[in-house]
A and B are shown apart, each in its own frame.
Chain A
Amino acid sequence: GAGVSQTPSNKVTEKGKYVELRCDPISGHTALYWYRQSLGQGPEFLIYFQGTGAADDSGLPNDRFFAVRPEGSVSTLKIQRTERGDSAVYLCASSLTARQGHTGELFFGEGSRLTVL
């Protein structure tokens, strides 16, 4: 597609359940980012992929959160044993790789709104 696509757009689940959120980046973008945005806050970094590997996962809040990008394009963010505090909009962005002296413009998806009851 032309832009970054995220599914589902809305997900309501019960506390303790497992959730997967999907991001389909712009074709050819090697860099992929996951962010989380709580109501009234700016986005908070979760994880960054360069190709298939997680280059920086320092933003994942705990080991219930995990993300994969097995073929270097689509990425899935997985949340185990969901808690009410996980409720947020999960944003995905992609870019061409930012290299030394070069910055990559980010293109964001519409986000997946997760509500944990």
Chain B
Amino acid sequence: KNEVEQSPQNLTAQEGEFITINCSYSVGISALHWLQQHPGGGIVSLFMLSSGKKKHGRLIATINIQEKHSSLHITASHPRDSAVYICAVRRIQGAQKLVFGQGTRLTINP
């Protein structure tokens, strides 16, 4: 079983919909990252969380340390949000190494 599991693997929605991507992990962590990867493009860091909630524009990320779960939400989704969203955790043990989820491919149709 992977240490980091994301769901769904693929998500297609219409422009304007509220989007939720989930990430569950099975190890103790010091931080969790949400990353965005456009097709053929590099990876951009969206959020780095160790507790609570962060918001940036239409993006919101939450984490529940006790439940070992994080969610990434996108409000008023737009076709330009179409990308792969990746959850990655920084383990407490071996803290310099990020463990990545498989990613969620999001497609927003106009």
Contact = CB atoms under 8 A, between A and B. Distances in A.
A31 B102 CA distance: 24
A98 B95 contact: yes
Contact of A103 (B31, B41, B103): B31
B27 interface: no
Contacts of B42: 91, 108-111
B98 A33 contact: yes
Contacts of A42: 4, 86, 88, 100-103
Interface residues of A, number: 25
B7 to A, nearest CB: 13
26 contacts: A33-B97, A33-B98, A41-B103, A42-B100, A42-B101, A42-B102, A42-B103, A43-B43, A43-B88, A43-B100, A45-B99, A48-B97, A55-B96, A59-B97, A91-B43, A98-B31, A98-B90, A98-B96, A103-B50, A103-B90, A105-B33, A106-B33, A106-B98, A107-B45, A108-B42, A110-B42
Interface of A: 31, 33, 35, 41-45, 48, 50, 55-56, 58-59, 91, 93, 98, 103, 105-111
Interface of B: 4, 30-31, 33, 35, 41-45, 48, 50, 86, 88, 90, 94-103
